[in-house]
Amino acid sequence: MHASDSLKTILSRLSTIVMNGIADGSCLHHLNYLLEFLAAWEKRPAYLTLMAYQWCSAISEAARRPSPNKISTSLPDPLQRILQYRLRLRPQGRFPITTESGFSQVRSCRDPVRLDPTSNLTNGHPQHVTPPIYPYLLSITLEIGFRHITSSCHQPALHLNHTSHHEWVLETAFSSDDDEVIADAVCVWIVGGDSSPPGSCARHLARRMESGTPFSPRLQQASIRAIQHIWPNELKVAGLDTVRWLNRLNVNVGDMVDQERWARLLVGVIHFPTGPESLSSRYWCLLDKLVVASKLVLPLEQRDAEVMRSLAADRARD
Amino acid sequence: MLQIALLLLTCGLSRYMWSVNTSVARVIISFTVLGTLFYIGIVVAGTSLYECPFQTPASIGLRYLRDSGMARKILARLSPSNAIQLIYASQKITRRLVVKMFGPSNIISFMYTTWMDTRQGFVSTFHHIYDIMRYPFSRETPLSCIVTSIHRISTKVGYQIIITLLRIGLAIGDATQRLVQEIRRLRPAVLLPVTTEDAHHQPRVITVNHSTSRKVRHQIIITLLRIDRVIGNVKQRLVQEILRFRHVALLPVTAKDAHHQPRVHRNGPGLRVYVQNLEALQRQNDDNARCVYWILRKITDPEAIDSDIRLAGTIRWFDGDSNHNPPYDSIVSTFKTCFDSAKQLYPGMRDRAYFSARAILQINVRARAQSHEYASKYSVPPIPWSSFKHTDPDLHHVLHMLKRNSGTHGPILRFPRGDTNTHAHSLWMSNLFMDLTRVAPNPTLKSYKSYLSAAVTDHRPVIANILLLWYMFLGGHVEEETLWAIDKSYAVVLLSLLSGWLMFCTPAIH
């Protein structure tokens, strides 16, 4: 058997056991180590994206589960390990800048639920862990599934099974102060664009932009690619938010992979009821450039075309 | 001189092997006799025919003797009656010996007796030369001594050749005679002229031509059957000899299951990675176990021992049909000899220390999988910290693993570093971790930095093994077959390097 086939078999079985582990709440501190290993694997296979998204779903389910008794497990100081793991993300080091004492003792993972004397108090529910662990697990899982998706590489579309967990994933990811995690969440739209619930992307990104912090380069690129994939549905559901988001993105001609698609996108904004007023002047000029460069025949009204040309002329004079 | 040296070498080798192992010695003697006979045949052919393409110094010398008339003078001294008596006596002795000891069909035994007689002749000749060299002045003149000795040597050699040729002819004649007797004995029973009855119930004799052709046909059939039976017997005896040979002398052989039952695999919902050549891998593992077991007990060549220890670290001990205990004490003592009294590595002993440490770890882990008794029997020797000085990353890491897993320490998995340790070492170690985790499901993981660096290096087999480790940590069950499916590239590389030597050393492996 070929090595890659073996690896796929192992990963698929491992994915099942990870899902079960997340669902019953046991061995989460073991999963940390596994997920960190997978995240450190730079050339991980593409099929890991689907698995990672399923894990996101399981994490969401586990995190939203009602807890009759808040009982925390004896996790090995997760905050310290999170900080330690974060250091690995710094670009200056090829290898993780962590100490050798990264591992706590790994014991049989099924034991905590069965052997914990307090587990009877949980009335059959699995024991619950300290809250920060789930966002942390989600951030690593998103990294495993979507970190390798960049603006330059061509990513084949996947059918991601979006359920109610998607909103929790977005909420959690966008509440992070790490742009890389947000960019991973945005990449979910890039990979499974059509199947994603409309409106949520624009809403969250617009909120993120209102914070005033500039986007990281990767988040900027991911947002531009996401617009191309989900634009029509987003505009219908969250029109004004979408235009605001677009205005803040400052897209250049160089960022546009498919210029014709972008031209039609901008025309769609102009046709939107409040679009002509909301769209910033730089996009009018950009549309003019695209029309001139690609000699497209766009369904623009006479008035809109005149506005476009005049704004472009004003900008050229300035 | 070269040919004589070769002959003496084979004689010495035969003599030595006879004292070590008679079965092996028989094979060597057979080949030596065959070679000698072939050489004699070439000499005879080269002597008799100038056009013969195989000319040797001996044949040139003999031809010179023949052409110069010296041989005639020598032979002239022999009276015909003496020569005939000698020939008859040798015939009788040979026939008696051959028939009594081995039977006419055993050609190897026949050649062996011939060889022993020839050897005796040579020995007496050499004794004679020795006497001449020792007492050079006991004769009248040195020249006459040399001439006399050459005369005697040539006479003896001539006698030996004649005796050998006579024996060959005798054996062929004997075999032919027996064949004819057998045919004659069977003919009355099988080939009697058959009569048939006509429609009027009047018997009539078949024509002579018809009966002759039937006889010939029957003869052909009988001869073919006989040949087939002889070949079958020879083949059977050969197989028996080889089996006996392997059982007794060379390598222990795995007995075949009488019911041809396949290996029992554990059934269950465990993770199974299909292996196409599982049986071949298991057979190879058994062969390797036998090979290591045999070499470390029989061979003293340091290079062979090094290769053997290297192989010992890749074997799944106590697995499969082979029930041979590993030569653990030898490996441990080899490992200890790599360090001086201060427990520091001797220069140039790195490879031996590394591979013997690997073998110790491998055997220890496999023993843990069997029972506590085995685990205590094959316990890891104590490793002092001073052993770590002047070691490269791979050796340092394997020593660390030995130290961490010696004594009462629980299983500890200390990951090799992806940037400093070699891929081969990382792969071997990840294979070991698999077995260790299977033995003890609660190991302690060490070296987080190295653990992550394995993922960064993108060495797929190592990554697959680490993922399997996690699968087991998280409660998954891994089928035995999957453990065989782990990438064996390191073993394949080693085996390709070793194959030449092993083929020479252990011909019965395959």
Say what the pLDDT of residue B161 is: 67
Nearest to A6 among B450, B456, B485 (CB): B485
| Residue bearing the bigger pLDDT, A58 or B489 | A58
| Residue bearing the bigger pLDDT, A199 or A206 | A206
Nearest to A14 among B461, B470, B485 (CB): B470
Q: With an 8 Å Cβ cutoff, are A98 and B448 in contact?
A: yes
User: Quick one: A223 and A114 in the same domain?
Assistant: no
Alpha-carbon distance of B337 to A158, in angstroms, equals: 60
Does the pLDDT of residue A221 top 60, yes or no? yes
Say what the pLDDT of residue B44 is: 86
Alpha-carbon distance of B224 to B166, in angstroms, equals: 28
Alpha-carbon distance of A277 to B69, in angstroms, equals: 131
pLDDT of chain B, 510 residues: tens digit per residue: 788 888 899 888 888 888 788 888 889 899 999 998 988 888 888 888 777 777 888 888 888 877 777 766 766 666 666 766 777 777 677 767 655 554 444 444 445 455 555 555 555 555 555 555 444 444 445 555 565 666 566 666 666 666 666 667 666 766 767 777 766 665 554 444 444 444 444 444 444 455 566 667 666 766 776 776 667 666 666 666 665 544 444 443 333 333 433 333 334 567 777 766 777 778 888 888 888 888 888 888 888 888 888 888 888 888 765 567 888 998 999 999 888 888 888 888 899 999 999 999 989 888 888 888 888 888 888 888 888 877 889 999 999 888 888 766 667 888 898 888 998 899 889 888 888 887 776 778 888 888 888 888 888 888 988 998 888 888 888 887 777 766 554 444 444 444 444 444 444 433
Say what the pLDDT of residue A68 is: 47
Number of domains, chain A:
3
Contact by Cβ (8 Å): A239, A272 = yes
Alpha-carbon distance of B263 to B272, in angstroms, equals: 16
**The model's pTM:** 0.59
Say what the pLDDT of residue A238 is: 64
- Residue-wise pLDDT for A154-201, tens only, equals 566 666 766 667 778 888 888 887 888 898 888 887 777 566 666 677
Alpha-carbon distance of B197 to B130, in angstroms, equals: 81
- Give the closest residue to A199 by CA, choosing from A247, A167, A163, A172: A167
How many angstroms separate the CA of residue A173 from the nearest CA in chain B? 24
Nearest to A108 among B273, B441, B454 (CB): B441
List the domain boundaries for chain B: 2-190, 203-248, 278-505
Q: With an 8 Å Cβ cutoff, are A106 and B444 in contact?
A: yes
- Give the closest residue to B327 by CA, choosing from B262, B396, B378, B400: B378
Q: With an 8 Å Cβ cutoff, are B443 and A40 in contact?
A: no
- Give the closest residue to A266 by CA, choosing from A289, A284, A241: A284
User: Quick one: A176 and A119 in the same domain?
Assistant: no
Residue A163 maps to a domain: no
User: Quick one: A8 and A138 in the same domain?
Assistant: yes
| Domain boundaries, position A75 | 1-93+103-148
State the ipTM, two decimals. Answer: 0.76
User: Quick one: A135 and A3 in the same domain?
Assistant: yes
Within 8 A of A18 by CB-CB distance, chain B residues are 474
User: Quick one: A15 and A28 in the same domain?
Assistant: yes
| Residue bearing the bigger pLDDT, A94 or A194 | A194
Our measurement of the distance from residue B372's CA atom to the centroid of its chain's CA atoms, rounded to an integer in Å, reads 36
A/B interface, count of CB pairs below 8 Å: 122
Residue A258 maps to a domain: no
Alpha-carbon distance of B121 to B123, in angstroms, equals: 5
Nearest to A102 among B273, B443, B449 (CB): B449
Residue A206 maps to a domain: yes
User: Quick one: A178 and A311 in the same domain?
Assistant: no
- Residue-wise pLDDT for A261-302, tens only, equals 777 778 777 777 777 777 777 788 878 777 777 776 777 777
- Give the closest residue to A240 by CA, choosing from A209, A208, A210, A199: A199
Which of A90, A103, A105, A113 is the mutation pick for testing B, counting most B CBs within 10 A? Answer: A103
Q: How are beta strands B195-197 and B203-205 bridged, if at all?
A: antiparallel
* The pair of three-digit structure tokens given for residue B506, joined into one six-digit string: 């252990």
* The pair of three-digit structure tokens given for residue B43, joined into one six-digit string: 């000499």
Region A105-121: mean pLDDT is 39
Residue A259 maps to a domain: no
Q: With an 8 Å Cβ cutoff, are B474 and A18 in contact?
A: yes
- A30, closest residue in chain B (CA to CA): B474
Nearest to A30 among B448, B452, B474 (CB): B474
User: Quick one: A9 and A121 in the same domain?
Assistant: yes
Q: With an 8 Å Cβ cutoff, are A102 and B274 in contact?
A: no
How many angstroms separate the CA of residue B351 from the nearest CA in chain A? 28
Name beta bridge partners: B478: B271
How many angstroms separate the CA of residue A100 from the nearest CA in chain B? 5
Q: How are beta strands B195-197 and B444-446 bridged, if at all?
A: unpaired
Within 8 A of B463 by CB-CB distance, chain A residues are 7, 41
Residue A98 maps to a domain: no
How many angstroms separate the CA of residue A107 from the nearest CA in chain B? 5
Say what the pLDDT of residue A150 is: 65
Residue A236 maps to a domain: yes
Domain boundary among A203, A220, A250: A250
Within 8 A of A101 by CB-CB distance, chain B residues are 448
Phi-psi category of B406—alpha, beta or left, where left has phi over 0 and alpha has psi -120 to 50?
beta
Q: With an 8 Å Cβ cutoff, are A109 and B467 in contact?
A: no
How many angstroms separate the CA of residue B475 from the nearest CA in chain A? 7
Within 8 A of B456 by CB-CB distance, chain A residues are 40-42, 94-95
User: Quick one: A18 and A86 in the same domain?
Assistant: yes
User: Quick one: A75 and A135 in the same domain?
Assistant: yes
- B483, closest residue in chain A (CA to CA): A6
